[in-house]
Amino acid sequence: MSLEPVQVMSGQVAELPKVAPSSNGDSGGSWEGKREFDKDHLGLTAKPKPPKPENAVTVAVSSRVLFRTEREQKVFEQKGVEEYLRYQIEHENEPFAPGPAFPFVKALEAVNARLRELYPQSEELFDIVLVTYNHAHVGIRLINTINHHNLFIERFCMTGGSSPIGYLKAWQTNLYLSADANKVREALTEGIAAATMFMPEKMTEVSESQLRVAFDGDAVLFSDESERIFKAHGLDKFFEHEKENEDRLLDHGPLKGFLEALGKLQKKFYAKGQRLDCPIRTYLVTARSAASSGIRALKTLRAWGLEIDEALFLAGAPKGPMLEKIRPHIYFDDQMFHVEGAAEMGTVAAHVPYGIAQKHNSKHNTSAGK
């Protein structure tokens, strides 16, 4: 199976699961009188204020992964920008269908609702920024779509065809999700955690009450140091290297900071005695073997002060079936082989184009570390 960004392999619109009520006012009855809400000119309760970027966990998503825009993209590619803009304006009252990032964003909003209940004054929340190369004229359709789907997204970045990377840095972005692999690579080069999203042919039903995020290990949470040993010298040398360096920490990978941000929010629930009912759960899903190479990964996470709720060491077994059981809202991996395998099982997988594996990325590629 060959994946293209935000295309469904069967050509059918995948049915997206429902998630918990968003933080845009649906649950407002339980939040009445809390000061994070604005009051309109009539004194009525309005939507909550977006948090300041320096306090928030900022997730930037492109319009092409939050919504389904294949038809519009085809108009742009075949007829050019002017016809594309005309088409968007003519259809601005027709909302876009949900895209692959939609369940993830709804889950972020569900976590925000829980955080606001526990910490009414806190701005330590997820903040979602919609990023698009579109002209500002398209903004009306995007706003109509956001309101139609009952999302709470107040921050937009419409660049009119320019690169959004500078704006992502200004937003202090913790994660950037896009359908444009080149822009994802540019973001990674600038030190921003980023991944290319794909629409699987089918969509596994995901939790309505718990955000689940799964990570690969090497070249995602960790550097590609160990993967380079495997590529250059083979499996035996890889195991030997890991044994010799068992007590030396792995360097950080591009998604380490995002796991750190998730952990910070998890601890806010733990502080209220809600460890067993935390609405955020994280997973390490790696092809490393537990006994021969897993201990170094676990020691590194512990030294960083990071907790992973579940760790699966698969010793080279396929990841797709395990991910089907986990049912994450998103899974990050640096190898397309594993991204495709996850998508075949209905998991929304995101490719992190980082490290030595990018020189070997193909359907037939295998890995020891991952």
Distance CA 229, CA 252 (A): 17
Query: Which residue's entry shows tokens 């992964």?
Result: 65
Burial class of 74 by CB neighbour count within 10 A (0 to 12, 13 to 18, 19+): exposed
User: What is the β-pairing status of strands 211-215 and 330-333?
Assistant: parallel
Distance CA 97, CA 69 (A): 8
Write down the H helix ranges in 128-179: 139-148, 165-170
Burial class of 42 by CB neighbour count within 10 A (0 to 12, 13 to 18, 19+): exposed
Write down the H helix ranges in the chain: 63-66, 70-79, 81-90, 102-118, 139-148, 165-170, 181-189, 225-233, 235-244, 256-270, 295-304, 320-326, 336-344
Q: Identify the active-site residue in 127, 180, 216, 224.
A: 216
Active site residue 247: no
The residues annotated with a catalytic role in the active site are 216
